[in-house]
Amino acid sequence: MMPRAELLKDIIADLRMAACFVTILPVASTKPAADGAVARATWALPLAGLLVGLAGAFVYKVAIRFGLTPNLAALLTLATTALITGALHEDGLADTADGLGGGRTRERKLEIMRDSRIGTYGVCALILSFGLRWSALAAIASPWAVALALCAAHAASRAGVPAFMSLVPPARPDGLSASAGAPPGRSVAIAFAVGTLALVLALGPGKALVGLILLSLAGLLLARLAIRQIGGQTGDILGAFEQIGEILILLVAASFQMGR
């Protein structure tokens, strides 16, 4: 059995690796990324997402305290989360929309996804992403409810990433997703458990179940689309998966909030 000190060291290293993977925070990990450390550390992705959600919730609370409307507070919140993540997931969503929507062949789609320029499909996808998330947060309005929704959305949307990486093969031999490798079953299970717990604690069992169903369906549809069009997943596909999940959970939180 691994000594407690060594176990704690590995947990901290995984948390730092996960934070480096999804944010621009200066928390460099001590584990080299080439030896499968990234794949093993994916269990901590929902915890890294929770950190992003808490930062957004803090900004929303401060904005409301200073008398800003929920609409303006929601915009500042989205700006904060995009800044912390370096808009990594938004970039993945835009590239995925451009590649899957614009190319005719597998090779051309992958080429488009690697292009740093953004096209019409990418712009439309970003407008929809920011618009839906902004509308959902503004509809929820209450700082406490917004905080719960943000934590649930950012944790749960990343909780499915390890499973997606494990079940859907990389579309190319190089790139972020291929270099990370396939997460082990233990990391997949822990990430799923953490994400589910975040949903239940933040939204309650009923809403959490709805969120899980929607996330699962979205993941299956995106996986099928990615396999059919480009032969698997890439880092951009993973970013798109996170964005879709984040949107769905916020919409679930907003719809139930409006129904009260």
- Write out pLDDT tens, residues 2-32: 567 777 777 787 788 888 878 888 776 555 5
pLDDT digit string (tens) for 58-100?
999 999 999 999 999 999 999 999 999 999 999 999 999 999 9
Q: What is the number of other CB atoms lying within 10 angstroms of the CB of residue 184?
A: 16
Q: Among 22-36, 99-113, 160-174, 219-233, which range has the highest average pLDDT? A: 219-233
Span 226-239, mean pLDDT? 92
Closest CA to 134 of 211, 220, 75: 75
pLDDT-derived band of residue 146, with 50, 70 and 90 as boundaries? very high
Q: Is the pLDDT of residue 176 over 90?
A: no
Residue located via tokens 């499915």: 160
State the pLDDT at residue 8: 78
pLDDT tens profile 177-220: 656 677 888 989 999 999 999 999 999 999 999 999 999 999 99
Higher pLDDT, 16 or 52: 52
Is residue 113 over pLDDT 70? yes
Amino acid at 158: R
Instruction: Name residues whose C-beta falls within 8 Å of residue 6's C-beta, 6 or more positions apart in sequence.
Output: none
Please count the helices (runs of H) and the strands (runs of E) in the chain.
Answer: 13, 0
Average pLDDT value over all residues in the chain: 88
Report the sign of the C-alpha dihedral through residues 10, 149, 153, 84, in that order: negative
- pLDDT for res 27: 72
